[in-house]
């Protein structure tokens, strides 16, 4: 107890002496014309050295015999290790701990599987510890190094500070703490903003991938449904009942409208159905003797005397739907509905839509095609003997080499149609539009309703075109 009071009294006495010495130095400097402080002693360095080198007063000992301070055993004096060395070890321990926390949190956030919120917490902890460590270095050792202070102030040096210096030091410390807190807030805001942006980007990427997966799944499901619908409709075409076949045809039409990619195969299926169900093709399992008279009677007046028969509803539907599915975007003849070689003698096909249809070598002997739409159709080498094409639209159609003997083309629209080499003997061309029609090498003997001069003026003929 005695030694503590003695040490405190000695420190107070030395502080009082230092204060009085500084006051004396300031007064002496002002007396010499200076402004006080250290700058005044530049004029008289010897006096400054003399005052600074004077020993501090010693505190007289207490009355009576001096009591010797007790000494602790050597093992119990470990707390008296040099303060600077202990501070260095504490700093090193803090740096190691901070690095361990940063490394552990980063590794756990990147490698260890877990929920997203846990990864965010670990990453935020690592960034916060790293930012705090950097700030501690900046406002601690780095700031003192820049100020010229190589080591922290000791307790004795702090005790020698005046009240003004203490206030300045406290204010400076407060200012430093405020700046440090502001820096922490700014860094924390940047960290969390960066994390938020990263999380938003990851969320958008995940949502986009999920959307792509969902779209792909939906497409696969739609393709599966389309395949099922197509298969069932084609199976209906093989039914023995007309109504079932008709339902399959309309199902294919609806499927082609829902899925444009299936238009071509559906058109081909319907064209094959027509070729397999024409008038002169017997149904599966039946003999040719069961064919109608239109197919068994030879051509001529005997066939012309037979009544006109309209094909079944399923065949007419396929004839109308297949050409409607054609598209001019395909190259060559792939866009056409292929009815080549079909046989519909004495068939009633009036008003049928055969736009762009492929009817090469078709047998349409005595067929009624009045008002039919056959523009861009391919009727090359077709048998149209005695057929009725009254007011039919045959513009841009290919009728080269076709047999049009005694055909009725009254009021037909034959603009730019190709009739080169066609047989038009005894054909009725009354009021037919023959503008730019190609009649090179055509046989126009005994034509009716128009004169040879009118044909030469409207159509395109050559020296091989026969008029008589």
Q: Write out pLDDT tens, residues 391-408.
A: 999 999 999 999 999 999
Same domain, 265 and 412: yes
Residue 53 confidence (pLDDT): 53
Q: Which domain holds residue 367?
A: 249-282+306-468
> Is 35 within a domain?
yes
Residue 46 confidence (pLDDT): 47
Q: How much of the chain exceeds pLDDT 70, in percent? A: 66
Instruction: Please give the backbone phi and psi of residue 428, each rounded to the nearest 5 degrees, phi first.
Output: -95, 110
Same domain, 269 and 154: no
CATH code (residue 464): 2.160.20.80
Same domain, 401 and 263: yes
Q: Which residues of 7-40 are buried (b: 16+ CB within 10 A; e: fewer)?
A: eeeeeeebbeeeeeeeeebbebbeeeebeeeeeb
> Is 72 within a domain?
no
Same domain, 143 and 210: yes
Query: Which residues neighbour 359 within 8 Å (Cβ) at sequence distance 6 or greater?
Result: 339, 340, 342, 377, 378, 379, 382
Positions of the chain with pLDDT lower than 50, given as ranges: 1-2, 27-48, 51, 59, 61-69, 72-82, 329-331
Residue 38 confidence (pLDDT): 43
> Is 6 within a domain?
yes
Quote the Cα angle for 255-261-267, to 5°: 65
Distance CA 310, CA 270 (A): 18
Residue 74 confidence (pLDDT): 46
Query: Which residues neighbour 365 within 8 Å (Cβ) at sequence distance 6 or greater?
Result: 299, 303, 345, 346, 383, 384, 385, 386, 387
pTM listed for this prediction: 0.57
Same domain, 127 and 228: yes
Same domain, 49 and 97: no
CB 251 within 8 A of CB 273: no
Same domain, 218 and 331: no
> Is 369 within a domain?
yes
Same domain, 335 and 231: no
Same domain, 224 and 267: no
Distance CA 195, CA 109 (A): 13
> Is 292 within a domain?
no
> Is 204 within a domain?
yes
> Is 424 within a domain?
yes
Same domain, 272 and 387: yes
Same domain, 310 and 445: yes
> Is 68 within a domain?
no
Query: Which residues neighbour 400 within 8 Å (Cβ) at sequence distance 6 or greater?
Result: 380, 381, 418, 419, 420, 421, 422
Average pLDDT, the chain: 77
Q: Domain end: 215, 237, 259, which one?
A: 237
CB 442 within 8 A of CB 418: no
- The total domain count for the chain is 3
Q: Domain end: 41, 59, 77, which one?
A: 59
Q: Domain end: 39, 59, 79, which one?
A: 59
Same domain, 232 and 166: yes
């Amino acid at each position: 107890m005695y030694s503590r009071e003695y040490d405190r009294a000695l420190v107070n006495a030395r502080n009082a002496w230092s204060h009085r010495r500084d006051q004396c130095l300031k007064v002496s400097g002002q007396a010499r014309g200076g402004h006080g402080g250290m700058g005044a002693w530049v004029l008289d360095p010897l006096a400054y050295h003399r005052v600074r080198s004077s020993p501090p007063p010693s505190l007289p000992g207490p009355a009576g015999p001096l009591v010797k301070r007790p000494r602790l055993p050597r093992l119990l004096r470990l707390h008296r290790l040099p303060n600077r060395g202990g501070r260095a070890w504490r700093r090193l321990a803090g740096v190691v701990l901070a690095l361990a926390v940063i490394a552990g949190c980063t590794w756990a956030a990147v490698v260890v599987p877990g929920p997203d919120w846990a990864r965010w917490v670990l990453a935020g902890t690592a960034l916060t510890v790293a930012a705090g460590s950097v700030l501690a270095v900046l406002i601690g050792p780095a700031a003192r190094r820049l100020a010229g202070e190589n080591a922290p102030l000791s307790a004795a040096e702090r005790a020698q500070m005046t009240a003004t210096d203490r206030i300045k030091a406290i204010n400076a410390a407060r200012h430093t703490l405020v700046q440090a807190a502001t820096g922490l807030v700014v860094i924390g805001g940047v960290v969390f903003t960066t994390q938020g942006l990263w999380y938003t980007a990851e969320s958008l990427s995940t949502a986009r991938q999920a959307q792509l997966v969902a779209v792909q799944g939906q497409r696969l499901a739609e393709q599966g449904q389309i395949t099922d619908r197509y298969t069932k409709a084609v199976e209906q075409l093989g039914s023995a009942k007309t109504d079932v076949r008709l339902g399959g045809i309309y199902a294919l039409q609806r499927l082609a409208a829902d899925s444009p990619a299936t238009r071509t195969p559906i058109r081909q299926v319907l064209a094959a159905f027509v070729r397999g169900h024409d008038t002169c093709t017997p149904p599966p399992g039946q003999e040719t003797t069961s064919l109608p008279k239109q197919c068994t009677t030879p051509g001529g007046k005997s066939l012309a005397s037979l009544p006109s028969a309209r094909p079944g509803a399923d065949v007419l539907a396929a004839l109308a739907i297949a050409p409607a599915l054609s598209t001019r975007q395909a190259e060559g003849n792939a866009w056409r509905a292929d009815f080549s070689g079909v046989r519909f003698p004495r068939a009633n096909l009036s008003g049928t839509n055969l736009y762009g249809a492929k009817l090469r070598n078709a047998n349409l002997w005595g067929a009624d095609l009045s008002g039919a739409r056959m523009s861009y159709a391919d009727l090359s080498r077709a048998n149209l003997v005695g057929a009725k094409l009254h007011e039919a639209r045959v513009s841009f159609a290919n009728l080269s080499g076709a047999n049009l003997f005694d055909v009725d083309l009254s009021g037909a629209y034959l603009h730019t149609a190709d009739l080169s080499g066609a047989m038009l003997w005894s054909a009725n061309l009354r009021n037919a539009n023959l503008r730019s029609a190609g009649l090179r090498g055509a046989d126009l003997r005994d034509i009716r309703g128009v004169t040879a001069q009118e044909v030469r003026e409207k159509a395109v003929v050559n020296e091989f075109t026969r008029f008589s």
